[in-house]
Amino acid sequence: AARVPLARPAAARPPAAAMAADTSKPLFPAAPHASLLPSHGNANRLSPEAAYWRNFRSSTLDTGSTAFSVTHLAFSPARARPTLAAAWSSAVHLFAGDPLAPRPKVTVCKDAAAYSPSFRCDGALLAAGDGRGVVRVFRVDKPTAGPLRTLSAHAAQTRVVRYPEAGGDKVHLLTAGDDALLAYWDVPSETPVFTVPAAHRDYIRAGAPSPVDHNLFATGSYDQSVKLWDARTGKAPALTFSHGASVESVLFLPSGGLLATAGGTTVKIWDVIGGGRLVHSVESHVKTIFALALGKMGATGETRLLSAGSDGYVKCFDYGELKMTHSMRYPKELLSVACSPCGTVLVAGSSKGDIFVRRRKKNATEEEEEEVVGSEFAWTMPKPEKQALKPSYYRYFLRGQNEKAKEGDFVISRPKKAKFAEHDKLLRKFRHKDALVSALAKNNPRSVVAVMEELVARRKLVRCIGNLDVAELGLLLDFLHRNATLPRYARLLLGVANKVLEMRAEDIISEDGGKLRGCIRNLKRMVVEEIKIQHTLQEIQGMISPMLALSANRLE
C-alpha cells in the first residue's frame, strides 16, 4: 500500500471565503520569502496600443542608392493587394504583395526627380509630378508602358498631385507646385478645369483630398497658410487659416470635418466645418515634421494619425482621445510615411533612400477574416454581424453562460479551484526529490529557492542532493552556476553549492560525458568572478569610508 499522507480529498474544497466556519487550514504553497522577491513590483506593462505597434516586424525595402531621398510614399486604395508607390530619384518605385515585393519601376522623367505619386480611387492609375512641373498619368498594371496622359501647366516642381478620394471621381486631378499655381484637371482631355495662379504666396508642398467630398481639397504652403478649395466654386479658397509655420503636410481625418496640418515641429488639428477652428495642437517632434498619414489599427479598427519627422520618429496620435499613444524610432531622418489601407504594413521613407517597412505579424484567424472583408476601403471596421442562434448550433445550448451580472444581482461565484504548481503537488505527496527536479526544470529561481527552503524545513535537502541522478545533478549545477552569486539567493545557494561538491565529487569526476565537469568549470569561473567583484567593492569601501568619517567629523 502506498503511503500518501496529506493528500487532498477527492471532493473539491470550497474556497476559504465561502467556508468561514471550516477552520481546517488552506494549503500553503511553498513560497519564497518576501526578501527574495525583487523589490520593485512588476515592470510597467506595455499599454495595449504599444503592444500593438511593437508587434510589427521591421525590415527595409531596397532602393539601390543612398543619394536620393524618398520624398513621397503612397498606398493604393485597393485593399486586396497592398501596392506601394515610392517617389525616389527620377522614378516611382512600385512594390506590391504581402510582403511587399518590388515591381517594375515607373520612370517619370529621365532627368528630373519624381514627386508625389497618387493612385486613382480604384487603384488602376497612378499620377506623379516631376521636377519640371509636368504631371504624368500611368497605368499601374503596365508601369513600363509610358504615360497615358501628360498634364503640363506648372513651371516648377509639382510636389502636390492628388486624385480625389471620395465619390468615385475618376476623371479629375489636383496638382500644385512650387510655382504657387493650383490646377484642377480634367485628366482624359489633359485640360485644366480651372487654375489658380498664386494660390499661395510661397511653394505649395502639401495637399490632400477630402475623404467625404470629391470636390474638396486642402493645400498647405510654405507661406504658413492652409487653404481649403472647392472645385465647384474654384478660383477663390473656401477657407484660409494660418498654421504658424511652413506647412509640410496636410491630411483630412476620416470624418472629413477635421484637418490635420504639419509644419515645423507641431501637428495641428483644425475643425474645417466649424470655420477653421483650432482643435488641438501637438508638439511631439523635435525636428521638422515632413509627413502625415493615417494608420489603421488592425486589432480594433481605430485609426491613428501618424506623423514622421526628420528626428527619425514616427509618432502615433489618437485624435479621438487627443493624446500621443506611441512613438516609433527609426535610424534615419524620415521624409515620408504611409500605412496600407488594411493596416498591416507601415512604411516610412528616409532622406537617405531607405524605405523602412514594419509588417504586422498576423495570426491565422485574422488572415481568414481579411479574405472576407471586401476590397472597398472601409475607414471604420464593419461590426461583426451577430448570428442568430438556432437550436442546431452548439452555441445555442451555451447561450447566456457568459452573461455578466447586472447591478443589483446577487452573484454566487463558482468556487475557484486553487491551482498549485507541480512542485507543490509533489511536495504534498512527500516526493521531495521530484519536487526539486520539477522546480529546477521550470527554471524559475524563486520557486527553486522556495522548494529548497521548504526541503530544509523538512530536513530533506541533503538527502535530495544525494539522490539526484547525473542528468538532474547537471540541472542543479547549471542552476547554481546561474544563480548562486545573486545576492538575493547567495546565502542559501552558496551553501548548497558547497554541499553538492562535497557530497557528489566522486559522481562528478567519474561521469562519462564530461558535462558535469563543464558545469563545475563554469561554477568555478563564476566564483572567481564574484571574488574579484567583492575585492573591488572592498577597495571602493576602503576608499569611501575615510571620506565619510572625515565629513562626519567635520559636521560635528
Partner 1 sequence: TLPLLSPPSRRPPPLASRPHFPARPRTLAKPAAAAAAMITGGQSYVSAPPAFSADGRFLLVCSGRSVSVFSTSTGMLVSELEGHEGDVTAVVVVPPQSSAAAAAKLATHCWTAGLDGFLIYWDFATAELVRKVKVDAPVHSMVIPNISKKLKVTEVYAPFAFVSVEALSNKAIQDKAKGKPVAKKKELWGQLRIYDLWKGCQVGSELAQTRKPEKIVVSCSGEFLGIANKRHLYIWSIPTKDFNHDNIRKIKLGHTKKLSTLAFHPSERIVAGGDATGRILIWRGFGKAKFSGTHCAKSQVDEERDGVRGKDDAGTCTTWHWHSSGVNFLKFSSDGAYLLSGGMEGVIVVWQLDTGKRRYKPRLGSPLLFFVDSPDSSISCVSCTNNQVHLLNMPNMEVLKTVSGIKMPIASGDLSRRDVCGFDSTNGLVAIPTQDYCIQFYNLFENTEVSEVQVCERNFQPVDDITMYISLVSLSIGGNLMCTVEVKLPEEELGGLVTLKFWNQGSRAGQFHLSTVIYEPHSDAGISAVAFHPGKNMAVSSSFGCNFKVWVQSLALQSSDGKSQSGWRCQSVGSYKKKPMTAAAFSGDGSVLAVAAESVITLWDPDNNALVGVIAEALSPITKLSFAGDSAYLMSLSQSSKPQVAVWNVSNLSMQWSYTLFAEAACCSSSKSEFAVLSLLSCPEGGAPAEQDGIILIFDAENSKPVSSWSVKKAKGGSIAFVKDGPSFDANTDDTRGGEASLLVYVNGSHEYVIFDPLKNEEPQISKSTRKNIQTDEPAPIGYASIYGELPKLELKKEVSDIPFIPSDRPWETIFTGSSHALPPLTKLCSVFLASLLEKRPVTDE
Interface residue list for partner 1 (CB under 8 A): 1-11, 19, 21-28, 31, 33-35, 452-453, 455-462, 492, 495-496, 499
In the complex, minimum distance from the CB of residue 293 to partner 1, in angstroms, rounded to a whole number:
38
Nearer to partner 1, 201 or 458 (CB): 458
Phi (first) and psi of residue 134, to 5 degrees: -95, 135
**Crossing angle (nearest 10°) for helices 432-442 and 470-483:** 50
Cis peptide before 29 (omega within 30 of 0): no
Distance between the two ends of the chain, CA-based, in angstroms?
75
Least Å distance, CB 404 to partner 1, is 25
Taking the complex as a whole, how short is the minimal distance between the CB of residue 38 and partner 1, in angstroms?
Answer: 15
Task: Work out how close the CB of 297 gets to partner 1 at its nearest, in angstroms, rounded to a whole number.
Answer: 31
Give the closest residue to 184 by CA, choosing from 153, 213, 156.
153
* Minimum CB distance to partner 1 smaller for 6 or for 412: 6
Query: Which of 406/459 has CB closer to partner 1?
Result: 459
Looking at the Cβ atoms of 28 and 410, the one nearer to partner 1 is 28
CB atoms within 10 A of CB 57: 11
Question: In this complex, which beta carbon is closest to partner 1, that of residue 22 or of residue 539?
Answer: 22
What string of DSSP letters covers 25-38? PPPPP----GGGS-
- 285-315 in b/e burial notation, b at 16+ Cβ within 10 A? beebbbbbbbbbbbeeebbbbbbbbbbbbbb
In the bound complex, what is the minimum distance in angstroms from residue 455's beta carbon to partner 1? 8
Residue partners of 206: CB distance under 8 A and separation at least 6: 160, 219, 220, 221, 226, 247, 248, 249, 250, 261, 262
By beta-carbon proximity to partner 1, the closer residue of 25 and 554 is: 25
Cell of 436: 526539486
Q: How far is the CB of 479 from partner 1 (least distance, A)?
A: 15
Shortest Å distance, C-beta 7 to partner 1: 5
Going from the C-alpha of 8 to that of each of 24, 26, 428, 457, 534, the distances in angstroms are: 12, 11, 9, 21, 48
Nearest alpha-carbon partner for 269 in 321, 217, 198, 346: 321
CB closer to partner 1 out of 184 and 479: 479
Contacts of 378 (CB under 8 A, 6+ apart): none
Q: How far is the CB of 452 from partner 1 (least distance, A)?
A: 7
Nearer to partner 1, 156 or 462 (CB): 462
